[in-house]
Amino acid sequence: MRLTESVVVGSPPRVVWSYLADLDGYDRFMSGITRWDTDGEATTGLGARRRMLIRAGSAEVGGLIEMVEWDEPNDLAWSSVTGIDQRGRFRLRPAGNGSTRVELRYQYGVAGGGFTGWLSERLSAPSISKNLRVSLQQFKRLVESERQQRVAEAAEAEPAEA
Amino acid sequence: MASTPKPASDVSTNGHHAATNGDSPKISERAPLEGLADSVGRATGDAVRATQGLAGKALGRAARSLAKRLQADLDDRDPDYIRENLPLSWLMATIWYRAEVRNLKNVPEEGPVLLVGNHTGGNMAPETIFFTLAFSTYFGVERRFHQLAHNLVLASPLGPFLRRFGTVAASHENALKALDAGAAVLVFPGGDWEVHRPSWQSSKIDFGGRRGFVRLALEKDVPIVPVVTIGGQETALWLDRGAWLAKLLRLDRTARLKVLPILIAPPWGLTVGDFLPRIPLPAKMTSDVLPAIHLREQFGEEPDIDEVYEHVTGVMQEALSGLAAERRYPVIG
Q: Which amino acid is at A43?
A: T
Nearest-CA distance A129 → chain B (Å): 17
Q: What chain A residue is nearest to B84 in terms of C-alpha separation?
A: A113
Rounded distance between C-alpha atoms, residue A91 and residue A6, angstroms: 9
Mean pLDDT, residues B31-52: 52
| Chain A contact residues (CB < 8 Å to B) | 35, 53, 56-64, 82-84, 110-114, 116-117, 119-121, 123-124
Go through B26-36 and write b for each residue having 16 or more CB atoms within 10 A of its CB, e for each that does not: eeeeeeeeeee
B contact test, residue of A50, A58, A121, A128 with most B CBs within 10 A: A58
- Give every CB contact of residue B161 below 8 A, 6+ residues apart in sequence: none
Rounded distance between C-alpha atoms, residue B283 and residue B235, angstroms: 6
Nearest-CA distance B282 → chain A (Å): 14
Residue of A82, A113, A116 with shortest CB distance to B140: A82
CA distances (Å), B103 to each of A30, B280, B288, B316, in order?
A: 20, 26, 6, 14
Q: How many residue contacts between A and B have a Cβ separation below 8 Å?
A: 74
Q: Do A58 and B84 touch (CB under 8 A)?
A: no
As a whole-number percent, the residues of chain A with pLDDT over 70 amount to 98
| pLDDT of residue B222 exceeding 90 | yes
Chain B environment of A62 (Cβ under 8 Å): 137
Mode of pairing for the β-strands spanning B224-230 and A85-94: unpaired
In sequence order, what are the beta bridge partners of A89? A77, A105
Residue of B84, B101, B137 with shortest CB distance to A113: B84
pLDDT, one tens digit per residue, over B151-166 is 878 888 888 889 999 9
Residue of B85, B93, B95 with shortest CB distance to A59: B93
| pLDDT of residue B255 exceeding 90 | no
- The helix (H) or strand (E) run that includes residue A50 is strand A49-56
Rounded distance between C-alpha atoms, residue A2 and residue B1, angstroms: 57
Mean pLDDT, residues B35-44: 52
Rounded distance between C-alpha atoms, residue B214 and residue B304, angstroms: 10
Q: What are phi and psi of B108, to 5 degrees?
A: -50, 140
Per residue, the 3-state secondary structure of A27-47, as one string, reads: HHCCCCEEEEEECCCCCCCCC
pLDDT, one tens digit per residue, over A43-99 is 999 999 999 999 999 999 999 999 999 999 999 999 999 999 999 999 999 999 999
Mean pLDDT, residues B178-206: 96
Mean pLDDT, residues B170-178: 94
Torsion sign, CA atoms B163, B166, B167, B173:
positive
- Give every CB contact of residue B307 below 8 A, 6+ residues apart in sequence: B299
| Residue-level pLDDT at B65 | 65
pLDDT, one tens digit per residue, over B280-328 is 999 999 999 999 999 999 999 999 999 999 999 999 999 999 999 999 9
Mode of pairing for the β-strands spanning B224-230 and B262-265: unpaired
Rounded distance between C-alpha atoms, residue A112 and residue B29, angstroms: 71
Mode of pairing for the β-strands spanning B286-289 and B224-230: antiparallel
Nearest-CA distance B82 → chain A (Å): 10
Q: How confident is the model at residue A149 (pLDDT cuts 50, 70, 90)?
A: confident
| Chain B contact residues (CB < 8 Å to A) | 80, 83-88, 90-91, 93-95, 97-101, 104-105, 130, 133-134, 137-138, 140, 142
| pLDDT of residue B34 exceeding 50 | no
Chain A environment of B138 (Cβ under 8 Å): 53, 59-60
| pLDDT of residue B49 exceeding 90 | no
Torsion sign, CA atoms B71, B145, B99, A113:
negative
Mean pLDDT, residues B108-131: 95
